[in-house]
Amino acid sequence: MNNWRTGLITALLGIAIFPSAAQALPEESRIPGGVALVPLVGINSTTAPQVSYGEQRVMVVPNKDAGRKADWVAVVGIPLSAEADQPQTLSLDDKTFGFDISPKEYEAQYLTVPNKRHVDPNPDDLARWKRESAEMKAAFTRWSEPDQIVDKMELPATGRFSSPFGLRRFFNEQPRNPHSGLDIAAPTGSPISAPAAGEVVAVGNYFFNGNTVILDHGYGLTTLYCHMSAIDVSLGDQLEAGDLIGKVGATGRVTGPHLHWSVSLNNTRVDPLLFIGKE
Ligand SMILES: [Zn+2]
């Protein structure tokens, strides 16, 4: 077959493989902080294959697309720190699946926080934060296999999006980690509800994050809620979509009352809006 024909057929297949409506959420966005949907071509197992990205196991879902070239699709969270010129690799036993990502320049944000210790923590603060991050990491790296795979989320709070995901951040003019979630500004006391079914796997009052809850939705998908004025759940609670988690507040490192909401896949924080259906 000559080249233009091969190219044309590849292009047509490319469209046929990824009709966005037929594939389960999240929406694909192959950039740092985005999600890659990688078809596992040539894998014919009847149960979901065990695939890893770096150290972490990744979500694998059945490919529901009628014109599918693969039975399974890996749903991979791409770190904000990923370099666009570095090829990304998934591994499955002795096989590998590569994918490319595009560069993304996120905007810078300069914030002034009143509590100086939230910018320059003292040794006690740092020791506390270290314990808390270990607790949160344990929640983010959890692997559970509930009956339902979450493929759709509702926003957990109503309000203006005050800070988008991915901003490069400066607190009191000092560079800090990029913004790993979406901020929703709302008055203190506004309800925060579960965006999908999940289990409460961390509850705490943390140095930077204030009153915090982490939900495990299964298969490496977790969500984080910070700065709450009140927590209305306990460790181990099984929540349904819409159940009350807590209330918006201004605890921890904040400039005003808001919900900080993070969504994590394979222990990687990704843009929460990729999980919200656009209707
Ligand atoms: Zn935030």
**Residues 153-208 pLDDT 10s:** 999 999 999 999 999 999 888 888 899 999 999 999 999 999 999 999 999 999 99
Region 131-159 average pLDDT: 95
Residues 74 and 195 in one domain: no
Residues 113 and 227 in one domain: yes
pLDDT digits (tens, 9 = 90+) for 217-238: 999 999 999 999 999 999 999 9
Q: Which of 46, 77, 101 is a domain's end point?
A: 101
Q: Which of 84, 101, 118 is a domain's end point?
A: 101
Residues 230 and 129 in one domain: yes
% of the chain beyond a pLDDT of 70: 90
Is 85's pLDDT higher than 50?
A: yes
270 alpha carbon – ligand 1 mean position (Å): 13
Q: For residue 158, is it within any domain? A: yes
206 alpha carbon – ligand 1 mean position (Å): 14
178 alpha carbon – ligand 1 mean position (Å): 10
5 alpha carbon – ligand 1 mean position (Å): 49
261 alpha carbon – ligand 1 mean position (Å): 7
Q: Which of 77, 101, 125 is a domain's end point?
A: 101
Q: pLDDT value at position 77?
A: 98
39 alpha carbon – ligand 1 mean position (Å): 32
Residues 144 and 94 in one domain: no
Q: For residue 27, is it within any domain? A: no
Mean pLDDT rounded to a whole number for the chain: 90
Q: Based on the structure, what is the number of domains in the chain?
A: 2
Residues 114 and 159 in one domain: yes
181 alpha carbon – ligand 1 mean position (Å): 5
29 alpha carbon – ligand 1 mean position (Å): 21
- Residue 112: beta bridge partners? none
**The overall pTM is greater than 0.85:** yes
% of the chain beyond a pLDDT of 90: 77
Residues 233 and 161 in one domain: yes
Residues 179 and 198 in one domain: yes
Region 247-276 average pLDDT: 96
Q: For residue 137, is it within any domain? A: yes
Q: For residue 3, is it within any domain? A: no
Q: What residue numbers bound the domain in which 38 lies?
A: 34-101
Q: pLDDT value at position 10?
A: 40
Q: pLDDT value at position 173?
A: 86
pLDDT digits (tens, 9 = 90+) for 3-53: 444 444 444 444 333 333 344 579 999 999 999 999 999 998 999 999 999
Q: For residue 123, is it within any domain? A: yes
Region 106-129 average pLDDT: 91
Q: pLDDT value at position 138?
A: 98
Q: pLDDT value at position 24?
A: 55
Q: For residue 266, is it within any domain? A: yes
Q: pLDDT value at position 174?
A: 87
Is 209's pLDDT higher than 70?
A: yes
165 alpha carbon – ligand 1 mean position (Å): 8
Is 58's pLDDT higher than 50?
A: yes
Q: pLDDT value at position 231?
A: 98
179 alpha carbon – ligand 1 mean position (Å): 6
Looking up tokens 């109503």 gives: 158
Q: pLDDT value at position 271?
A: 97
